[in-house]
Chains A and B, each alone.
Chain A
Amino acid sequence: MAKPEVYKSLELNDEEYQKILDILKREPTPTELAMFSVEWSEHCGYTHSRNWLKLLPKKGKYKSLIGEDSGGIIVDDLAIIFKMESHNHPSQVEPKQGAATGVGGIIRDIFTAGAKPIASLNSLRFGPLTQAYNRYLLRGVVDGIQFYGNCVGVPTVGGEIYFDESYTGNCLVNVMCIGVAKKDKLARARATGYGNSIMYVGSNTGRDGIGGCSVLASREFKECEEKRPAVQMGDPFTEKCLIEATLEALATGYVVGIKDMGAAGITCSTSEMASAGNSGMEVDIAYVPRRESNMKPWEVMMSESQERMLVCVTKGKEKEIERIFSKWDLNAVVIGKVTDDGTVRIRDKGKIVAEIKARSLTQAPAYDMPHKKPDYLDRLNKLDINKIPEPKNYDETLLKLLGSPSICSKKWVYEQYDHMVQTNTIVLPGSDASVLRLKGTNKAIAATTDCNSRYCFLNPYRGAQIAVAEAARNLVCSGAQAAAVTDCLNFGNPERPDRFWQFKNCMEGVADACKFFNIPVVSGNVSFYNESPKGAIYPTPTIGMIGVINDIKRVCTQYFKKENETIILLGLSKEELGGSEYLKAIHGLVKGDAPQLDLRLEAAVQKTVQEAIKKGLVSSAHDCSEGGLAVALAECCVSNNGKIIGALINNLDFIGRKDTILFGESQSRIIISCSKKSAGKIKDIAKNFAAPFRIIGTTGGKNLKISSGRNILINLPIKRMFDKWTNSLQSSITA
């Protein structure tokens, strides 16, 4: 009988251990125990989340592909494959390698599906930059992403970065990758065909990352320093070769199935490939190429060494596959074969060290966790606007917001990423969404990541809905139609009812909003236990969304293009301030309810912009998000790479207090600019969709001037706003 401290150190509880005894009808070997511990971890088995993930819609306008390591949609004869994944805890421990291996892992998920990776995005959250360790984390994570992404030749085209106290002690690093394949050339992550060979390809196996998923990813985070050996090391050069070799191998037609050895390494790839193929598998780990001597069988099975994959190859064609991998100076070794008894049998020099039904490993227990609304929420949700002093100087307030690390330009970050390699990036980072052309077609795809976690903290259900609505809005502003979602669900400890309540409500919010917009969730990842001794992170269901642009000539960007054009606001500005960056950055408050969201209004605004861009009527389109209308207008003026176009805004509808209209974060608002001639046509389109339409001003000049009647509220030189917006991040980092 294994001692409780042994299985508990592997994060298995008493009940789970008993279940293992029932399944095996004997005691597990150390290797088997290790295998169960990783496969039944939240990270691999989705034990706490599975019951709620069922809520997510699977169908949309485009045919969706769901079910293996990644998901996607079919657009004409192409499959667009994408997925987002977290690498939070490894990055908190060792930011450079943590982030780098996060990028490597998600890219492997894409090319093992048979798709050529064409772009990466990342969604990052850190504690305030006033603290030295948070600055170290930001620098390290960015360094890791550039180190891996640039070398591997996949452009890093977009993403987001937010700063908040709740992430001190537990940063978030969510990485997303997009790939493209001919739809009939996709690969499967399964092993089938009795007697077919199982090959190990890629780097050698070492002791790095042992227990990464069960220990690092599935536990609260306290003594992080001690867990450093559980972080893997990345080698982007090997990965680059692996991409080329894999795509070449897949083209032979001899690859039956292929799977990345990511979390839980050989354990996960053997059991999941066998289980998915309704077959069994027998491998001898003595054949596994090693980089360290005297590794125990369980260590080989648990290792999360990077840049490795398991391939099921048609019997007799092993040499062909070996030839391709050795051309790229990579290992390709037969380590076993497919069997038909549903059992994963692991041998070490012939001796059986594990023998488990594949299904019992992959069917991890699913728990229904208790959930309860946190006590503090009602108090937090109450906000009396009258107690918030109005700004004395609106110019200063706007400048301060433009310099807030969560709002300011992220140029310092994205200029360190190669965002142009592969020559598909037609809208570079710095607009609402990045746009990638699909070579050989007249189409393009747009991609974005979104989540305002402060909204989710104040109102998880609505906050999650807003994340979906805003992602779709960003895509629409680039000329795309939202098509599919990958979600990366970052939450605290699911065993605590208040945290689980946040998770449950966010899931319902994501599911309902996606259903409303007819957008399927095709892939994703759950990351629980994001806690530091100070408590849980804000609930952060990051939404990665892909949109399709049918005519590559109808791509739109956020910044003003010409002088003397009409500026239109679509949507309504309400008297609300809850959860705004203005409340936080200017008044030091996290209070109120998340902004209201009327999905029908949202759809009306989005459809108007989509139709207007499609008809070629729009010069620029930008959504209003953090910092509200004033910040969005400023961004329209400053984000055109140093080109200065000001604006005169003299027809806003000040239905409430002026600061709520300028800095409040009412949803479903888009600012567009267009020629005088087009304004009328856009008005007709808006009327048709019942979207609120208002001409609010004109582009031109060297200032952004916003007035209410005769009262000039804001009058700022673009150059001054540009400098503040452009330089703030760098000066906060080097502070």
Chain B
Amino acid sequence: MKFGVVVFPGSNCDQDCFYIIKNILKQPVKYIWHKQTNLDGVDCVILPGGFSYGDYLRTGAIARFSPLMKQIYRFAQKGGFVIGICNGFQILLEAGLLPGAMLRNKNLHFICKYVYVKTETNKTPFTNLCGRNQILKIPIAHNEGNYYIDKDGLKTLEQNRQIVFRYCNRDGVVNKESNPNGALANIAGIINKNGNVLGMMPHPERSSEKILGSEDGFLIFKSIAKRGKNKR
């Protein structure tokens, strides 16, 4: 499985994702500069966290117009794996690769802390190694993670089992108290209908090593790598 980590000016977590894939997952990985017009033959594109283009105007709003995004759009349409983390998720929403939008966190502050998410489905390329309903301890770090979608949209997401992660407490209870940012229906991550594009607010790359306090996020990278292997 060849990974590509996209670098926008203002990307912050590009090097962290790169480090995990290269040093922990031990898979081939390269950076893809935002002005590039091809994807260098990678099998999975990672849109990392950060403040692409300073997140001026609106998070992810400028990044979607970058030359590379056209390629990523085509790549995704053809079934290529794309995972957007934090700012990457926001970009996927702006680019229309995933439905819905992000509002500012309910408390109007940036929030950086460990949270728990419940794996709502393990029938995706990104969660195939998670147990059913497995609770993952993964940190969040964002200003705009308050996911929103209209009623019909939410219904569609639920019917198609597109909600992959919901915020919960350490016992797996999904409720208002365990919702850090006010996201609709505690949504922390969703997948597209075709099942090849994942967006999630929590940072799996920050919880892929025991020394950092959790290895739960590593399941996501491992799942993708496994899926890649099976495909071959």
- The verdict on A420 contacting B10 (CB below 8 Å), with A151-B51, A235-B54 known, is no
Q: Convert B6-50 into 0s and 1s, putting 1 for each residue whose CB lies closer than 8 angstroms to a CB of A.
A: 000110110110011000000000000000000000000000011
Shortest Cβ distance from residue B64 to the other chain A in the assembled complex, whole angstroms: 17
Cβ-defined contact, A423 with B19, below 8 A: yes
Instruction: Kindly provide the distance from the CB of B87 to the nearest chain A CB, expressed in whole angstroms.
Output: 11
B 87-99 binary contact with A (CB < 8 Å = 1; else 0): 0000000000000
Residues of B within 8 A of A367 (CB): none
Q: Is the interface of A mostly helix, strand, loop or mixed?
A: loop
A81 to B43, CA, bound (A): 39
Contact of A415 with B113 in the complex, beta carbons under 8 Å: yes
Residues A420 and B141 in contact, CB atoms below 8 Å apart: yes
Enumerate chain A residues within 8 angstroms of B10, measured Cβ to Cβ: 151, 237, 240-241
Q: How far is the CA of A423 from the CA of B12 in the complex (A)?
A: 11
Given contacts A237-B10, A237-B51, contact A552 B15 (CB under 8 A): no
In the complex, A238 Cα to B54 Cα: how many Å? 8
State which of A236, A241, A417, A423 has its C-beta within 8 Å of the C-beta of B112: A417
The verdict on A420 contacting B9 (CB below 8 Å), with A151-B54, A235-B54, A426-B212 known, is: no
Q: How far is the CB of B104 from chain A (nearest CB, A)?
A: 13
Give chain B's interface secondary structure class.
mixed
| Interchain nearest-CB distance for A107 vs B (Å) | 13
B55: interface (CB < 8 Å) = yes
The answer to whether A241 touches B9, judged by C-beta atoms less than 8 angstroms apart, is yes
Contact A426 B112 (CB under 8 A): no
Contact B16 A423 (CB under 8 A): yes
Give the contacts of A137-188 with B (CB-CB under 8 A).
Answer: 146, 150-151, 153
Complex CA gap A423/B203 in Å reads 10
Contact status of A419 and B15, CB under 8 A, knowing A151-B10, A237-B10, A437-B211:
no
Q: Which of B134-185 contact A (CB under 8 A)?
A: 139, 141, 143
Tell me whether B15 and A422 are in contact (CB under 8 A).
yes
Contact-size category for A: 20 to 34
Q: Which of A153, A425, A641 contacts B50 (CB 8 A)?
A: A153
Q: Within 8 Å of chain B (Cβ to Cβ): is A418?
A: yes
CB neighbours of A439 from chain B (8 A)? 19
Q: Tell me if B12 and A237 are in contact (CB < 8 A).
A: no
In the bound assembly, the distance between CA atoms of A153 and B51 in angstroms comes to 9
Contact with A along B209-227 (1 / 0, CB 8 A): 1011100000000000000
Closest to A154 in B: B12
Please, which residue of chain A has its CB at the minimum distance from the CB of B211? Answer: A426
Most B CB atoms within 10 A — which of A146, A150, A425?
A150
Residues from chain B with a CB closer than 8 A to the CB of A419 are 112
Cβ of B118 within 8 Å of any chain A Cβ, yes or no, is no
Please give the distance in Å from B197's CB to the nearest CB on chain A. 24
Q: A417-B112, A437-B211 are in contact. Are A328 and B205 (CB under 8 A)?
A: no
A363 at the interface (CB under 8 A from B): no
A418-B112, A420-B141 are contacts. A328–B12 as well, Cβ < 8 Å? Answer: no
Complex-state Cα separation, A479 to B114, whole angstroms: 24
Cross-chain contact of A240 among B12, B109, B141 (Cβ < 8 A): B12
User: A715 interface residue, CB < 8 Å from B?
Assistant: no
- Pair A423/B111 contact, Cβ less than 8 Å: no
B73 at the interface (CB under 8 A from A): no
A641, closest chain B residue (CB): B114
Contact A420 B111 (CB under 8 A): no
- Would you give the shortest CB distance from B3 to chain A, in whole angstroms? 17
CB pair B9–A328 under 8 Å, yes or no, is yes
- Answer whether residue A66 sits at the interface, using C-beta atoms and an 8 A cutoff: no
Chain B nearest CB from A480 CB (Å) reads: 16
Asked if A415 meets B212 with Cβ closer than 8 Å, knowing A153-B12, A421-B16, the reply is: no
Tell me, rounded to whole Å, the shortest Cβ–Cβ distance linking B145 to chain A. Answer: 13
Contact A415 B111 (CB under 8 A): yes
Q: Hey, which chain B residues are within 8 Å of A421, CB to CB?
A: 12-13, 16, 49, 141, 206
Could you give, for residues 214-244 of chain A, a 1 whenever the CB lies within 8 Å of some chain B CB and a 0 otherwise? 0000000000000000000001111011001
Tell me how far the C-beta of B204 lies from the nearest C-beta in chain A, rounded to whole angstroms. 11
Identify which of B50, B113, B206 contacts A423 (C-beta below 8 A). Answer: B206
| Cβ-closest 8 pairs across A and B | A237-B54, A153-B12, A151-B51, A418-B141, A423-B16, A418-B112, A416-B110, A146-B110
What are 19 A-B contacts defined by CB distance under 8 Å?
Answer: A150-B51, A151-B55, A153-B51, A235-B54, A237-B9, A237-B53, A237-B55, A240-B10, A328-B9, A329-B9, A415-B111, A419-B112, A420-B112, A421-B206, A422-B15, A426-B211, A426-B212, A428-B213, A437-B211
Known: A420-B203, A428-B213. 6 other contacts (CB 8 A): A150-B112, A237-B53, A240-B51, A329-B9, A417-B112, A421-B16
